Amino acid sequence: MSPARIRRGACCLALLLLGSLGATASAQYRKGDPRYVKDPREVSDPRTVRDPRTVDRDPRALPSDQELFDHHLATDNVGELRVAMRENPWIVMKWIDGFCQRWLAIVDADGTPGEQRQAEVALLQEQGRLVARLADGAFGDTRFSLYVDGVFRWTPEQRTLYLERERLTQQGLDVSNGAITADDARRALTPLTQALEYARRLGDTPGMSSTLAAMGRVQWEGGYYREARATMGEAVRIGRQVRDYDAIWAALSMLYEGGMEHEEYGQAQRALRDQYLIARDSGAPGAAEQILVQLVELELYLDDRDRLAPPSVRTPGRPGREDPGQLGSAPR
Total domains, the chain: 2
Q: pLDDT at position 25, please?
A: 47
| 3-state secondary structure labels for all residues of the chain | CCHHHHHHHHHHHHHHHHHHHHHHHHHHHHHHCHHHCCCCCCCCCHHHCCCCCCCCCCCCCCCCHHHHHHHHHHCCCHHHHHHHHHHCHHHHHHHHHHHHHHHHHHHCCCCCCHHHHHHHHHHHHHHHHHHHHHHHHHHCCCHHHHHHHHHHCCCHHHHHHHHHHHHHHHHHHHHHHCCCCHHHHHHCHHHHHHHHHHHHHHCCHHHHHHHHHHHHHHHHHCCCHHHHHHHHHHHHHHHHHHCCHHHHHHHHHHHHHHHHHCCCHHHHHHHHHHHHHHHHHCCCHHHHHHHHHHHHHHHHHHHCCCCCCCCCCCCCCCCCCCCCCCCCCCCC
The reply to whether 200 and 224 lie within a common domain is yes
The reply to whether 135 and 270 lie within a common domain is no
The reply to whether 299 and 165 lie within a common domain is yes
Last residue of a domain, one of 85, 120, 152: 152
Last residue of a domain, one of 152, 185, 213: 152
Asked whether residue 19 is domain-assigned, the answer is: no
The reply to whether 296 and 213 lie within a common domain is yes
CA nearest to 205, candidates 124, 106, 100, 279: 100
The reply to whether 168 and 145 lie within a common domain is no
The reply to whether 89 and 217 lie within a common domain is no
The reply to whether 258 and 177 lie within a common domain is yes
Asked whether residue 299 is domain-assigned, the answer is: yes
Asked whether residue 21 is domain-assigned, the answer is: no
Last residue of a domain, one of 152, 170, 200: 152
The reply to whether 184 and 132 lie within a common domain is no
Domain that holds residue 128: 65-152
Asked whether residue 208 is domain-assigned, the answer is: yes
pTM comes to: 0.68
Asked whether residue 195 is domain-assigned, the answer is: yes
CA distance 237 to 215: 15
Asked whether residue 36 is domain-assigned, the answer is: no
The reply to whether 185 and 298 lie within a common domain is yes
The reply to whether 143 and 205 lie within a common domain is no
| CB neighbour list of residue 73: distance below 8 Å, 6 or more residues apart | 81, 127, 130, 131
The reply to whether 191 and 222 lie within a common domain is yes
The reply to whether 90 and 191 lie within a common domain is no
CA distance 292 to 273: 8
Asked whether residue 55 is domain-assigned, the answer is: no
Exposure class string for 313-331: b at 16+ Cβ within 10 A, else e: eebbbbbeeeebbebeebb
Query: Within the chain, which residues score under 70 in pLDDT?
Result: 1-63, 111-113, 314-332
CATH of the domain at 164: 1.25.40.10
Asked whether residue 245 is domain-assigned, the answer is: yes
